[in-house]
Structure 1
Amino acid sequence: MPPHCDSLDGPVVTAARSALKDGDIDHVLPYVPEAGEPEVREAFSLACRARILGPQAQEVADRWFFETVVRVHRAGEGAPFTGLKPAGLDVGPMIPAAERALDTGSADDLTALLCEIVRDQVESRHGRVMTLKEHAHEGVAAARQYVEARLGLQVWAHTLYRQAIGAPHAQTGAQGQG
């Protein structure tokens, strides 16, 4: 998953900002696992006390609270915390499409986009394998290219299948993103 949960304009920091603004920790608690709740509650309490000491203290307290919440959130996903990312990162087409699907209540556009991408990839990869197959009889090097592409298509399709039926965040820890 592209960086999103750990960006300054991502859903976790947005919820943390709301919690600080409204003085209501419940805005951010859904983003942290139950085991991390005591640490986030303590950080919230400390940040709220520090924020009243002036604008500079508020800036430091807010940043520290955001980092704490995102770190605890990422740990709940089994992913490392690698720092807060800046706002406005390009997260690709899927995150915005998934967010629109959730906002509109319809998954039609998200489904169409995913199907289009998968169809294009299957056709491209399959076409390459078929082209290499035509020349596989032209020696070991050509046969090797064909076998590599053939197995590559199979492994790619299997990986896509496993990801499609897998649990949310199943690959997050392994890829270190989320």
Structure 2
Amino acid sequence: MKKTAVLALSLVLTVLFSASVLAHCDTIEGPLIKEAKAAFEKNDVTPVLKWVKKSDEKEIKSIFAEAQKAASAGAKEIAEKYFLENLVRVHRVGEGASYTGIKPEGTEIDAAVLMGDKALETGSVKELTDKLAVHITAEVNKRFENAVALRKTADKSPEQGRKYIEAYISYIHLVENLHGLIKSESESGHKH
């Protein structure tokens, strides 16, 4: 159910913000890569361990040590890439997501993600929550109004009834999935 809720919210946000849904942490300009490059330069893996599960720390520390050794031997660029690729891979798998490589500079990032980062930088979530509330409300209203309109003619023919049922399912699943996402996150905390 949680995956369905996350998928539904992702789809809503994709439609609402009209931006590509691409992973934030696997972009060259994302916070994980920025922190990882700084850690690699300082020869200190500790700051990036927060990006992986405790059970993955040993693997990342080992990869980091191998990469630092290779960098010292003159293969810095390849060593850094090896470390970054593996760190992002382990992080993505820890999120339950697939790993498809590090995305290049200029990769489009979902507008909601950018707004989430901006909220953290400014210390205020108001702009983000206001915008999300407006867009989510609009989407719920749109689906509700469609279902109400089609309900009026649902009994005129099986075909019209099916159109209503399709609209009903779209509306109810959105409401259910949004509530399920909020409920599951508040009850169990984020499983990042």
Q: Same fold (TM over 0.5)?
A: yes
Match for residue 149 of structure 1?
A: 167
2:126 to 98, 108, 132: 108
Structure 2 CA distance, aligned partners of 1:51 and 1:105? Answer: 38
Deviation at 1:140, TM superposition (A): 1.2
Percent identity (aligned): 32
Match for residue 7 of structure 1?
A: 27
Deviation at 1:4, TM superposition (A): 1.0
1:88-107 to structure 2, matched below 5 A, reads 88-107=106-125
Deviation track 1:72-97 (CA, whole Å, cap 9, x = no partner) reads 11222233322222232222211011
1:64-143 to structure 2, matched below 5 A, reads 64-143=82-161
2:78 to 52, 55, 60: 60
8 Å contact from structure 1 (residues 77, 169) kept in 2: no
State the aligned residue count: 169
Instruction: Give the gaps of 5 or more residues in structure 1.
Output: 173-178
Structure 1 CA distance, aligned partners of 2:39 and 2:183? Answer: 34
Deviation track 1:109-137 (CA, whole Å, cap 9, x = no partner) reads 11101101101101111121122123223
TM-score by length of 2: 0.80
Deviation at 1:5, TM superposition (A): 1.3
Deviation track 1:57-108 (CA, whole Å, cap 9, x = no partner) reads 2111111100111111122223332222223222221101111111111111
1:64–1:102: structure 2 CA closer, same or farther, 3 Å change rule? same
Deviation at 1:169, TM superposition (A): 5.8
Question: CA RMSD, aligned part only?
Answer: 1.8
Match for residue 48 of structure 1?
A: 68
Structure 1, 87-96 or 118-127: larger mean CA deviation: 87-96
Structure 1 CA distance, aligned partners of 2:129 and 2:155? Answer: 40
| AA partner of residue 92 (structure 1) | D
TM-score by length of 1: 0.86
8 Å contact from structure 2 (residues 147, 164) kept in 1: yes
1:124–1:114: structure 2 CA closer, same or farther, 3 Å change rule? same
Moved over 3 A (4+): 167-170
Matched, 1:22 2:50: no
Instruction: Give the gaps of 5 or more residues in structure 2.
Output: 1-9, 11-21
Match for residue 176 of structure 1?
A: none
SS of 2:153's partner is helix
Match for residue 162 of structure 1?
A: 180
